[in-house]
Structure 1
Amino acid sequence: MPLRSLLLVVVGAGCLANTGMAGGWPRFRGPNGSGVSPDDVPTPTTWSPTENLKWKVALPGEGVSCPIVVGDRVFVTTYSGYGFEGRDPKDLKRHLVCLDRQTGKVLWDKTIEAVLPEDPFTGMGVPQHGYASHTPVSDGQRVFAFFGKTGVVAFDLNGEQLWQHGVGTESDPRRWGSSSSPILVDGVVIVTAGPERRAIVGLDAETGNELWEAPSDSLGNVWGTPAIAKIDDERTDVVIGAPFEIWGLNPKTGKLRWFCEAMDTDSFNTSVVVQDGVIYAIEGRSGGSIALRAGGKGDVTKTNVVWSGRDINRFGTPVVYHDRLYFVSNGIVNCIDAKNGGKVFQARLQGGDRVTDAPPPGGRPGGGRGGRGVSDYSSPVAADGKIYYVSSSGDMHVLKAGDSYDSLAVNQVTEESETFAATPAISNGELFIRSNKHLYCVSEKK
């Protein structure tokens, strides 16, 4: 049963200030989570450990969070002391690392002590992704990192900690750990603290003070990141996928504005995508896809749905590019018409060392160059007429965007045993790719 009624309970309110950052990659999957580079700059097609690799930097720990790019700096989170590196949860630490985007030099590395007890590093959930799974977000002056039970921590660009605020210490029903990334909307840091608190929380970006809470029990099974839908000059909605529904919330108060019945699934692993006023989502082990117009009030199921289908997806979020919707699931790349949901093509990814048939959390990990063989968690991104997709094994597929499967290259940045579970960032023609061990910058040599 949907639990939207609980989402109407709201505490507090707050004032707002601006979100966007032109030309950067300031949050999970770039501008508004679209996965599309805003820069009109050519991007590399081929690379290797000896070709078009600008730099490679060792990270102070593991993680599957994605890098973000803010001006001349790159930020990424990691964890150390517990997990694959240690057995005592008391040694768990989180890191926010700032690097120079031109050289890869580490400018600063801030350590955040863990709030305990944490979900144990056991079973088939947490070991798949660890304790640094949330991509940070920046407003160009500050960086906000979410570390689950340890809370949200804000730093300025020089590494000075500004504030830290806890948003809950509970666990999701399966104890898989959390991964939803924070976003910024007009001076409000919006955190999907589903496992930790069964709520979405709004924090003042300046002070860290809590402005509002939007609770719902169903958020314990949400791992996606919200997106922003601009309705008109006076209204913006925060959109997120939840079990059985898509929700639109008021970013000033957290109050539910509308909901739409969607895929028949009791969990939501992926993130919604907003393009030209239309919201797209693909989710569900048994399949489910939807496109709906943003906006409205109350139940918009009968009025706002553009199309729905039975496309099957697991963890990666789709990318909408040139009126086509691309997503990769279980080693299969899919392309559907964004306007009507019709299938354009479907093909198995070709080339590389292997193709990962990703099991769901709780399934048996595979093998391959990735070492520990985690599932494929990364999402496709787009730039310069190309679709980029990184498998956990480190095979980096470059496809020509179009109406048929056209593989331009399959690249690797290393011959070492590393796992790649993060979605790349793209900025000014360069790709920033993180593994469990390193951060890489790929750039076409001029």
Structure 2
Amino acid sequence: MMTRAPFLLSLGLCLMAGTSHAEGLWPEFRGPTAQGFSTAKGLPTAWAPDKNIVWRSEVAGKGWSSPVVANGRIFITTAVEMPVDPTAAAAVVLAPAPVAPPVVAVPGDASKRPAPAKAKAPPPAPKPVSLHVMALDAATGKTVWDTQVLEVTDPAALKMHGKNSQASPTVVYEPGRLYAHFSHHGTACLDEAGKILWTSQENSYTPQHGTGGSPVIVDDLLIFDADGAKDPGVVALDKATGKTRWKIARPPTEAKSKFSFCTPLLIEVAGQKQVISAGSGIVQALNPKDGSEIWHVMYGTGYSVVPRPVFAHGMIFMSTGYDKPVGLAIKADGKGDVTSTHVVWQETKYVPHNPSMLVIGDELYMLADNGLLSCRDAKTNTVHFEERLLGPSSASLLYADGLIYAIDEKGASAVVKPGKTLQVVATSELKEKTLASMAVCDHDLLIRTELALYRVGNGRANAE
């Protein structure tokens, strides 16, 4: 028998501590349920640079991790460029600039002769960075502590897509501890005062396009995907020590590109925990105790999978990534290869490359990267609407106080009433680039832009 226990248990843990505590806890990517749900009430629906901004705090460096909230603190990560040692910089060997081909004389009119090709200079080597975990006071936005946990100087490790950052995975919180993962750069555990308890770099891998997926806590383990340019896999660390407890390799797939950036999802089916982990060409359900596979579905050449899967009605809903994403609904009660038996439906229209999906009741909502929002029946894939909502988008959808929140890459946002027709409640503009997903803090929203972190609240005066 299927169960939605992970959703209900996660939400229940928050509610056990009381409503106010639940609203003040946002412990990981996509919140207490890991699926974009909040129990908070009274959230703002409209804002602007001069409207409903409680505070705006500039953040040094660059990072696209989403905010995490606990005990009156907001935790984020960032990557700060380090000064370059001229001696070390001189030692970096760069590819030589291409040599222009020799000019060959062409008879006739000189004005019609092809111009000689211009040699292109090689791109500059990436600057080394220090990777930081920061705690901000939730009431004021002021920095409480800022801890450098790792340094990265290897140019090969620093190569990334222009849209990415070296600090894109989101911190995971549990009482007394923070786990900050930086993909191939390593992982760190800190206490709530910012003291480093351990660091681990024993599971480094060759990156492609930079950092990505966040980790998930399962009992005494910290589990994350390690899908780099080659030899993709999944890793579990002992959360007390940072030592590797298990590591599994992905099975061979049709995907030529092996890299992906997905965040695993913990679910429970018939009393058994499953870690849902999507990589290039395959999604697997793993036993968290040892990494052994419970079931898998193959999906061809799909790669660079980013959206975190969601779980509802006994099914996993997910996107297969680039180049052409396919939306899949998969029954989660299988064993072994269930590619031909457990895929309930698949969809190719308006499926996201980056934003994670949202299931509310019987409806599945998807925000495509082009800003088009679609709503369909989660069980049957019957389309209710497919309409333009925003511009190009990367952030995942949020459901709070009976409304759906979405934000695009230019800082434009829309608040939508759930239902089978598109009903836009409000739109807003911050006019700052943002790729990070929203978080909830008490009765307010947290929005991270390229330059700053905003706390947005109803009718609240700006903090000085």
- TM-score normalised by the shorter chain: which range applies? 0.7 to 0.9
Cα distance change, pair 114–81 in 1 and its aligned pair in 2 (3 A): same
Q: What is the rounded CA distance, in whole Å, between the counterparts of 2:162 and 2:204 in structure 1?
A: 19
Cα distance change, pair 292–212 in 1 and its aligned pair in 2 (3 A): same
Contact 1:66 1:424 (C-alpha < 8 Å) held by counterparts: yes
Are 1:255 and 2:292 counterparts?
Answer: yes
Contact 1:96 1:145 (C-alpha < 8 Å) held by counterparts: yes
Are 1:155 and 2:172 counterparts?
Answer: no
Please state how far the C-alpha of 1:80 moved relative to its aligned partner.
1.1
Contact 1:56 1:439 (C-alpha < 8 Å) held by counterparts: yes
Cα distance change, pair 266–150 in 1 and its aligned pair in 2 (3 A): closer
Please state how far the C-alpha of 1:226 moved relative to its aligned partner.
0.7
SS of 1:301 mapped into structure 2: coil
SS of 2:178 mapped into structure 1: strand
Q: What is the rounded CA distance, in whole Å, between the counterparts of 1:82 and 1:280 in structure 2?
A: 41
Cα distance change, pair 19–334 in 1 and its aligned pair in 2 (3 A): closer
Partner of 1:359: none
Partner of 1:210: 244
Spell out the pairing of 1:19-418 with structure 2 (5 A cutoff): 22=14, 23=22, 24-37=25-38, 39-81=39-81, 89=126, 91-119=128-156, 125-172=160-207, 175-195=208-228, 198-216=232-250, 220-233=258-271, 235-262=272-299, 265-284=302-321, 285-311=323-349, 312-329=351-368, 330-349=370-389, 355-356=391-392, 376-413=393-430, 415=431, 418=432
Please state how far the C-alpha of 1:88 moved relative to its aligned partner.
6.5
Contact 2:397 2:437 (C-alpha < 8 Å) held by counterparts: yes
SS of 2:162 mapped into structure 1: helix
Please state how far the C-alpha of 1:119 moved relative to its aligned partner.
3.8
Q: What is the rounded CA distance, in whole Å, between the counterparts of 1:73 and 1:138 in structure 2?
A: 11
SS of 1:129 mapped into structure 2: coil
Q: What is the rounded CA distance, in whole Å, between the counterparts of 1:162 and 1:183 in structure 2?
A: 18
Please state how far the C-alpha of 1:193 moved relative to its aligned partner.
1.7
Q: What is the rounded CA distance, in whole Å, between the counterparts of 1:266 and 1:259 in structure 2?
A: 16
Q: What is the rounded CA distance, in whole Å, between the counterparts of 1:82 and 1:120 in structure 2?
A: 15
Contact 2:134 2:145 (C-alpha < 8 Å) held by counterparts: yes
Cα distance change, pair 404–264 in 1 and its aligned pair in 2 (3 A): farther
Contact 1:46 1:410 (C-alpha < 8 Å) held by counterparts: yes
Contact 1:272 1:281 (C-alpha < 8 Å) held by counterparts: yes
Cα distance change, pair 89–336 in 1 and its aligned pair in 2 (3 A): same
Equivalent residue letter for 2:78: T
Q: What is the rounded CA distance, in whole Å, between the counterparts of 1:265 and 1:419 in structure 2?
A: 28
Equivalent residue letter for 1:31: P
Partner of 1:15: none
Q: What is the rounded CA distance, in whole Å, between the counterparts of 1:435 and 1:266 in structure 2?
A: 27
Q: What is the rounded CA distance, in whole Å, between the counterparts of 1:252 and 1:426 in structure 2?
A: 31
Please state how far the C-alpha of 1:156 moved relative to its aligned partner.
0.6
Deviations 1:22-69 (A, max 9, x none): 1222111113420111x1422211112222211111112111111111
Please state how far the C-alpha of 1:192 moved relative to its aligned partner.
1.2
Q: What is the rounded CA distance, in whole Å, between the counterparts of 1:316 and 1:68 in structure 2?
A: 18
Please state how far the C-alpha of 1:118 moved relative to its aligned partner.
4.3
Contact 2:128 2:155 (C-alpha < 8 Å) held by counterparts: no
Q: What is the rounded CA distance, in whole Å, between the counterparts of 1:102 and 1:176 in structure 2?
A: 36
Contact 1:152 1:167 (C-alpha < 8 Å) held by counterparts: no
Deviations 1:395-418 (A, max 9, x none): 0111111111122222134x5xx3
Contact 1:115 1:149 (C-alpha < 8 Å) held by counterparts: no
SS of 2:50 mapped into structure 1: coil
Q: What is the rounded CA distance, in whole Å, between the counterparts of 1:242 and 1:155 in structure 2?
A: 28
Cα distance change, pair 252–121 in 1 and its aligned pair in 2 (3 A): closer
Q: What is the rounded CA distance, in whole Å, between the counterparts of 1:64 and 1:334 in structure 2?
A: 25
Q: What is the rounded CA distance, in whole Å, between the counterparts of 1:169 and 1:203 in structure 2?
A: 13
Partner of 1:7: none
Q: What is the rounded CA distance, in whole Å, between the counterparts of 2:443 and 2:360 in structure 1?
A: 17
Q: TM (normalized to structure 2)?
A: 0.79
Cα distance change, pair 263–33 in 1 and its aligned pair in 2 (3 A): farther
SS of 1:422 mapped into structure 2: coil
SS of 1:149 mapped into structure 2: helix
Please state how far the C-alpha of 1:323 moved relative to its aligned partner.
2.0
Contact 1:32 1:228 (C-alpha < 8 Å) held by counterparts: no
Q: What is the rounded CA distance, in whole Å, between the counterparts of 1:120 and 1:259 in structure 2?
A: 31
Cα distance change, pair 161–299 in 1 and its aligned pair in 2 (3 A): same
Please state how far the C-alpha of 1:429 moved relative to its aligned partner.
2.5
Please state how far the C-alpha of 1:264 moved relative to its aligned partner.
5.1
Higher CA-based Rg = 2
Q: What is the rounded CA distance, in whole Å, between the counterparts of 1:215 and 1:273 in structure 2?
A: 23
Contact 1:145 1:152 (C-alpha < 8 Å) held by counterparts: yes
Q: Which moved more, 1:92-101 or 1:274-283?
A: 274-283
SS of 1:221 mapped into structure 2: coil
Unaligned segments of structure 2, at least 5 residues: 1-8, 15-21, 84-88, 90-123
Please state how far the C-alpha of 1:205 moved relative to its aligned partner.
1.0
Deviations 1:323-374 (A, max 9, x none): 2111211121111111211111011126xxxx23xxxxxxxxxxxxxxxxxx
Contact 1:222 1:243 (C-alpha < 8 Å) held by counterparts: yes
Q: Choose from 431, 437, 440 the match for 2:451.
A: 437
Q: TM (normalized to structure 1)?
A: 0.82
Equivalent residue letter for 2:457: S
How many pairs were matched up?
395
Equivalent residue letter for 2:327: S
